[in-house]
Structure 1
Amino acid sequence: MKNITGPYKLWILIFLLLLIVAEIAWSWRNDKKSYEVKETLSNLAVLAGFQLSKIIFAGYQLIILGFFNALAPFSLPHTGWVFILTFIVTDFIYYWFHRVSHIWKPLWAFHMVHHSAMHMNLTAAYRLNWLSVLISPLFFIPAVLLGMPVDYIIISYVINLLYQFFLHTEVVDKLGVLEGIIDTPSAHRVHHGSNPLYIDKNFGGVLIIWDKLFKTYQPETEKVNYGLTTGSMGYNPFKLVFKGFADLFTGKIKLKN
């Protein structure tokens, strides 16, 4: 994994930053108001904390997956077909991980920060809970026990999250025949909507066919109202990350729906 991401990580970061700058310019020129200064700074602060948490807990994640890898009755070889299979299985697991995170309060406490953004833009993509790295490996244990290579699972999940970065935008309109097959910016805007029609829809990561299969797909048919149904949570990154846990322990937590 290190050999794959190490040399290119800086270039990927630069590329993503250039896209954000381009989106800001697009929003300003077209008066879209997709960016709000305080919220954008909050997004970047949350992102910095999330990156730090990945470094801190990297060993924990590898220990968890390595432990169950040793228990697997067999191991699949490192081939192209196995990688494709692993990618599809990882995406399927992500769908259920994401869906459960919306309907079970303990997981919603982790996920709530991501939906608290009141504007849809690329910086909101990594508005992720700093402690989510503690639970995400647990959902991929079944893939490990099925003999899928741990490095393939990790790479597939990284690609999944990187792909979703490009979905958090209003720049891209509907993509025709691709809608309903893969997750698109239009489909993901729906997912972030607090409109009654849009709540708990479109959980897919890369593929949206899981939503079609399990009846959670909703096309974008009306203007999306972003954020939580309870309104803004402010701009303090620590409050954004930990409020879900505080509300959970006090019994005040409310699901998006």
Structure 2
Amino acid sequence: MVKEYLTVEQLDQIGLPPIIPYAAPVMFALVLGEWALGLYKKRNVYHNKDFWAATAIGLTNVIISALIKVATFGFALFFYNLVPWTVPSKWWSYVLCLIVIDFCRYWAHRIAHEQRFWWATHVTHHSSKQYNFSVSFRLGWTQHIKIIFFIPAFLAGFHPVVFFICHQIEVLYQFWIHTEFIRKLPKPIEYIFVTPSHHRVHHAINDKYLDKNYGSTLVIWDRIFGTFQPEEERPIYGITKPVNSFNPVYLVFHEWMDIFKDISKAGSLKKTFKILFGRP
């Protein structure tokens, strides 16, 4: 099969199905439903300032994604065009691409918890002491640099359109697992897929829950690589060093500011490297 080399212009002309924007009304309806259910059950599910901070962070992320779309396409195409092979755009290639992306997301997520530089791109998502659907909106504005973790998917030869569709599906999957109202699901589902129960553990700061359950859609990677932890005691959410702010800009950049402060006092390249890539 002769490979068709693509340009950014061609990819832009093809267009991508805006799966997440189409899903947005449903997502906000579910947020409203979760909020109403919390009131009915007299549970403090939503904190007003926390919710609006998450919404502001999420909407800004949508704008940033639109602004850097050409750069993102260009990055993907560079590596896709680098290899002479391609994966045919058949139904099974979407399934295979989802699995490859999910594997990449596992390692991107794990490294974001194990190295401070990458933690700065991710900490925003964990800084809420609440756990509800709106937490899925809290994605750091610098997270887009983590596209480098998906180079293997581009080099595998997946068409960029296939990649971006599958990646939107992966991102959308994250929404429904951010809730306390869905308890444990039947064992076959809990064994293979990431569920709200698994992800509650991931967002918790309980000692036994720290740095567990990195899976995005499939929890099998955690089982294979020894990072799986079932939900047992009640999770306590947030980060070990609370931010205590609802300012969206501060929530996104506070860890970056701390890193720069520490680097300014480092005094050597060795210490600077340790600050950047040591554990958070």
TM-score (norm 2): 0.86
Name the CA distance, whole Å, in 1 between partners of 2:181 and 2:73: 37
SS in 1 for 2:56: helix
Q: Which has the higher helix share?
A: 2
1:136 is matched with which residue?
146
Greater than 3 Å deviation, 4+ residue runs: 8-11, 252-257
- Deviation, 1:256, is 8.6
Pair 113,27 (structure 1): closer, same or farther in 2 beyond 3 Å: same
1:214 is matched with which residue?
225
| Rg comparison, structure with higher value | 2
Check conservation: 1:194, 1:229, Cα contact below 8 A.
yes
Query: Given the alignment of the two structures, is residue 196 of structure 1 paired with residue 182 of structure 2, yes or no?
Result: no
Pair 161,256 (structure 1): closer, same or farther in 2 beyond 3 Å: farther
Pair 256,183 (structure 1): closer, same or farther in 2 beyond 3 Å: farther
Whichever residue aligns with residue 4 of structure 1, its letter is P
- Deviation, 1:14, is 1.2
2:172 is matched with which residue?
162
1:244 is matched with which residue?
255
Match of 2:96 among 79, 82, 85: 85
Calculate the aligned-residue CA RMSD, in Å.
1.8
Name the CA distance, whole Å, in 2 between partners of 1:58 and 1:138: 15
SS in 1 for 2:137: coil
Match of 1:105 among 105, 116, 141: 116
1:147 is matched with which residue?
157
Query: Given the alignment of the two structures, is residue 4 of structure 1 paired with residue 14 of structure 2, yes or no?
Result: no
2:73 is matched with which residue?
62
Query: Given the alignment of the two structures, is residue 22 of structure 1 paired with residue 8 of structure 2, yes or no?
Result: no
Residues 164-209 of structure 1: CA deviation (Å, up to 9, x unaligned): 1100001100002111310000100000001111110000011000
SS in 2 for 1:71: coil
Name the CA distance, whole Å, in 1 between partners of 2:134 and 2:233: 23
Name the CA distance, whole Å, in 2 between partners of 1:15 and 1:55: 21
Check conservation: 1:168, 1:189, Cα contact below 8 A.
yes
Residues 131-185 of structure 1: CA deviation (Å, up to 9, x unaligned): 212x132111111111121111111111111001100001100002111310000
Figure out how many residues of one structure are paired with residues of the other and give that number.
Answer: 254
SS in 2 for 1:140: helix
2:242 is matched with which residue?
231
Please, which moves more after superposition, 176-185 or 100-109?
176-185
Name the CA distance, whole Å, in 1 between partners of 2:17 and 2:47: 35
Check conservation: 1:194, 1:256, Cα contact below 8 A.
no
Check conservation: 1:228, 1:256, Cα contact below 8 A.
no
Gaps in structure 1 of 5+ consecutive residues: none
Match of 1:49 among 53, 57, 60: 60
Check conservation: 1:182, 1:208, Cα contact below 8 A.
yes
Gaps in structure 2 of 5+ consecutive residues: 1-13, 264-274
